[in-house]
Structure 1
Amino acid sequence: MKLSQLTTGLTAAALLFSSVTASIEAASTAAASTSFKDVKSSDWYYSSIQKLISKELVNGFEDGTFKPNQEISRAEFLKLVDLSLQLDIPANLSGKPWYTPYVSAAVEAGIHRTSDFNGNWTQPISRQEMARITVRAIDQTLRNTKTSDTQLVYEATKRGILSGLTGGELGLKENSTRAQATVIVDRVLTVLNGGNLTADKRAASYAEVAYRGTNIETMWGTSIIRSFPFTEDISPNAKGTFKQMLVIDLADKNSPYRNLVPNLIRADGNGWDNDYLIAFNVIMTATKTSQNTELYLREMISNPYMNFAAIYPLNFDSKLNKLETLKIQKNKTVEVWHLVTLDKKDFINIKNGDWPFLYFDWANKQNKIYLEKEGRIFGGKN
């Protein structure tokens, strides 16, 4: 049944965003308006509100307000997405909550799964939950495949649907507001109509690290086929489990994770303003015992184009400032961050030349991580 054919208990002017505690009658009498007392033309969500009003998807309240900072419920947001996608909405059954047909339509279309929520449809929707629905709305291949929350959030950020909050943080557990929901649905409509969105690089980096353990695709435009974590022998006496690899553009003060690096010292004493900082998070584990022996990770992995670096001042409070040694006693472990800088020109040469990206020196440089021409990082022993 088409939406235009649907007969419900709501009048044609019923508010999409009416409060779940307000009566349907009060919501239905709100006048359609493009001007609200609490919305200014300079507000970041203004154009999205105007666009969705023109499509008769949202409306305001009787008192002439839009209430942009009011939270939106799961049911209200799902209804908005359903209407935006022009889904067929079934008739509601007697005695069922008003949102029941919208839930059914969303499940039928594959944009919502019954396992997504705990069943409380009237509670505010979180940004995590919003990401699930919207990324499935724009990509049908994600509707019927097994996906993790971290993957869906990354897909939503890299496509420009979900942006970060102040500072780029994702705020996935935070509840979404009417203003945020309006902007998100506006972006969904833009993508569905063939438009392009600009991704928030910081938010996409944080989401990619949560999903893959690295932000290589966000920073270098490359895909990765070797997933983190992975484990390699890094010496005859130790193995290393590589948990994360962060790429930081030191020339960009707004680069993801740049706030973790106030200043640097390069081992060769040269400047680093035009470098990438590559930070490897590694758990080193001793596989043998060798009395009075300690290992630094920087002594075991290298690349002739990379320069070992350390955060300055050395006592700066940063999670990257962790340069401990591993005592070679069997099963002894230590978690470290290994920092290297890479000139951007050298990076292009490594990428285009298909040169090894990282050597584990102990094995006659036979144990390598490559950066392919396509930009993929993978492990191999040649």
Structure 2
Amino acid sequence: MQWKRIALLTLCIVSLGTMPTNAATFKDVNTQHWYYSSVERLVKHNILSGYEDGTFKPQQPVTRAQAATIIANALRVNKEAIVPPRFTDVAKTNTHYEAIAALTKLGVFQNSEQFFPQQSLTRKQMAKILVEAFKLKSSGIVTYADVPPKSWAYEYIGILGALGITTNQGDFYPNQAVTRAQLAAFIERTIDMKRKDNDNDIWDTWKNW
């Protein structure tokens, strides 16, 4: 029965060779997707999470409320020692209330009458949030054809370009909605940059990043 043992051994070798070396956490995030490593890394560090059906929904736009929770997770902010914000459209029962309140206290969000939690986060809004939340600075800025100097987001977007957090060239598309996959990539690049700068902050202490 020597031939059977050889056949069985051959089958095992073939099977092992075709097994994925790094299985995806979510059924809609393939290992070949450009955002795969960003999503996996942020999930591992409890910054992002998926949905109960096992999906991540990478192409779904991020709402402003969802973005608040994701950024708060990345900053490891204290969501208990908060000051109630003035927003009339964010109830205390809102799942993202503590994160919104905490970031507002830190000055990431302006404490105004409305927050518009269900609106999709735009790319220019994201630029401001990242700069304010991670205290990003650069000696210069990168300009984009579709972001005029008079825009309130001009410097924020320019800083992301200068630091390589956005890889866009020519146009930035400031009014487009940010998808969950895109936000994962932006946050990963931001933390990568913060870990390499000269400031001592919480991201420098993270192991296995």
TM-score bracket for this pair, using the shorter chain length = 0.5 to 0.7
Find runs of 4+ consecutive structure 1 residues off by over 6 angstroms. Answer: 91-94
The residue that corresponds to 2:206 in the other structure is none
Q: Higher mean Cα deviation, 101-110 or 69-78?
A: 101-110
Unaligned runs of 5+ in 1: 1-32, 197-382
The residue that corresponds to 1:154 in the other structure is 158
1:163 equivalent in alignment to 2:167: yes
The residue that corresponds to 2:130 in the other structure is 134
Tell me the CA shift for residue 37 of structure 1. Answer: 2.2
Aligned partners of 2:28, 2:72: CA distance in 1, in Å?
27
The residue that corresponds to 2:52 in the other structure is 62
Aligned partners of 1:171, 1:87: CA distance in 2, in Å?
30
> What does residue range 247-286 of structure 1 map to in structure 2 within 5 Å?
none
For residue 88 of structure 1, the aligned residue among 78, 92, 104 is 78
SS of the aligned residue for 1:190 comes to helix
Aligned partners of 2:133, 2:50: CA distance in 1, in Å?
25
Alignment CA distance shift 1:95-1:151 (3 Å): closer
The answer to which structure has the higher strand fraction is 1
Aligned partners of 2:52, 2:78: CA distance in 1, in Å?
29
Tell me the CA shift for residue 112 of structure 1. Answer: 2.2
Tell me the CA shift for residue 44 of structure 1. Answer: 1.2
Q: Report the AA paired with residue 105 of structure 2.
A: E
RMSD: 2.9
> What does residue range 78-117 of structure 1 map to in structure 2 within 5 Å?
78-90=68-80, 95-114=92-111
Q: What do the CA deviations read for 1:23-42 (whole angstroms, capped 9, x no partner)?
A: xxxxxxxxxx9432222222
TM-score (norm 1): 0.37
Tell me the CA shift for residue 173 of structure 1. Answer: 0.3
Alignment CA distance shift 1:80-1:95 (3 Å): closer
Unaligned runs of 5+ in 2: 1-22, 85-90, 139-150, 199-209
Is residue 136–residue 159 contact of structure 2 (8 Å, CA) maintained in 1?
Answer: no
1:52 equivalent in alignment to 2:42: yes
1:183 equivalent in alignment to 2:185: yes
Aligned partners of 1:43, 1:140: CA distance in 2, in Å?
28
The percent of aligned pairs where both chains have the same amino acid is 27
Tell me the CA shift for residue 190 of structure 1. Answer: 1.1
Tell me the CA shift for residue 45 of structure 1. Answer: 0.6
Aligned partners of 1:36, 1:42: CA distance in 2, in Å?
13
SS of the aligned residue for 2:196 comes to coil
The answer to which structure has the higher helix fraction is 2
Q: Report the AA paired with residue 177 of structure 2.
A: N
Tell me the CA shift for residue 110 of structure 1. Answer: 2.4
SS of the aligned residue for 1:191 comes to helix
Is residue 112–residue 133 contact of structure 1 (8 Å, CA) maintained in 2?
Answer: yes
Q: Higher mean Cα deviation, 66-75 or 100-109?
A: 100-109
SS of the aligned residue for 1:36 comes to coil
Rg: which structure is higher? 1
Aligned partners of 1:181, 1:80: CA distance in 2, in Å?
9
Tell me the CA shift for residue 168 of structure 1. Answer: 4.2
> What does residue range 173-252 of structure 1 map to in structure 2 within 5 Å?
173-194=175-196
Q: Report the AA paired with residue 114 of structure 1.
A: N
Report how many aligned residue pairs link the two structures.
Answer: 157
